[in-house]
Amino acid sequence: MPLSDWASLADVDVQEFDGFLSKPGATVQFVGEKGNGKTTHLLAIQDRIPESVYVHFPEGEKTEIPVGNPLLIDEAQRMTRWQQWKVFRSGISLVLGTHRDFTRELKRAGRRVKTVAVYERMSASRLVRIIQARIEWVRRDAGPVPELSHETADRLLTRFGPDVRRIFYELYGIFQNLPEGCIDVEV
């Protein structure tokens, strides 16, 4: 799925950070493992704030930090120490997607910090909305589409935790093997 479509399918509420991010030195960090929704939160904020700039730090690659306010840094734990020092001490607002909690370093740099554990925002109801929106996004034809019950969503969250990527991978295999016309998904 292209990143340009990601925010339109996001089921996250980020408007709560609008006022906070309008102040210099503010930082919101979304902390969690892969597949928990960090990138989705960053892209939803980028969609809300036109002057923001998003940058992703791929593993093992050197990445330049662009200019933007707020600056949205995905995989922030991959920044070099020099990049961290420079960015954390800048006056611009930051939004970090990270596996590592940078609260101590950010506060030491004089920043106000809000930390969001993204895995705590997942629920069966939210998972159902996310999956149904993505099914609609990829559908090719009119007609019935598979539906996920809240009970199945609960089982998926129990089995895989809030790792939405793993859940999609599991469901992809199930959807590919559904009999024609079957719309109830059971896991």
Q: Are strands 112-117 and 147-148 parallel, antiparallel or unpaired?
A: unpaired
Give yes or no: residues 151 and 71 share one domain: no
Whether residue 185 is contained in a domain is answered as no
Give yes or no: residues 17 and 101 share one domain: yes
Give yes or no: residues 89 and 64 share one domain: yes
Give yes or no: residues 103 and 135 share one domain: no
pLDDT of residue 101: 97
Task: Provide the CATH number for the domain around residue 30.
Answer: 3.40.50.300
Give yes or no: residues 49 and 90 share one domain: yes
For the chain, 187 residues long, the average pLDDT of each consecutive 10-residue run is 61 86 95 90 90 94 91 96 95 96 97 94 85 79 78 89 84 71 56
Domain end, chosen from 72, 88, 120, is at: 120
Q: How many helices (H) and strands (E) does the chain have?
A: 8, 7
Give yes or no: residues 113 and 153 share one domain: no
CA 183, 35, 156, 16 dihedral sign is: negative
pLDDT of residue 126: 85
Whether residue 187 is contained in a domain is answered as no
**Could you tell me if 125 and 150 are in contact, meaning their C-beta atoms sit under 8 angstroms apart?**
yes
Q: Are strands 184-185 and 147-148 parallel, antiparallel or unpaired?
A: parallel
Q: Compute and round to an integer the Cα radius of gyration of the chain.
A: 18
pLDDT of residue 97: 97
> Which DSSP string corresponds to 89-111?
TSSS-EEEEESS--HHHHHHTT-
Give yes or no: residues 128 and 163 share one domain: yes
Give yes or no: residues 167 and 132 share one domain: yes
Whether residue 84 is contained in a domain is answered as yes
User: How many Å apart are CA 71 and CA 44, to the nearest integer?
Assistant: 13
Give yes or no: residues 101 and 128 share one domain: no
Whether residue 44 is contained in a domain is answered as yes
Give yes or no: residues 12 and 89 share one domain: yes
Whether residue 142 is contained in a domain is answered as yes
Q: Which domain holds residue 140?
A: 122-177
Domain count, the chain: 2
- Tokens of residue 86, six digits: 């420079």
Whether residue 114 is contained in a domain is answered as yes
Using a cut of 0.85, tell me whether the model's pTM lies above it.
no
pLDDT of residue 30: 96
User: How many Å apart are CA 137 and CA 37, to the nearest integer?
Assistant: 18
Q: E-assigned strands of the chain?
A: 26-31, 53-56, 71-74, 94-98, 112-117, 147-148, 184-185
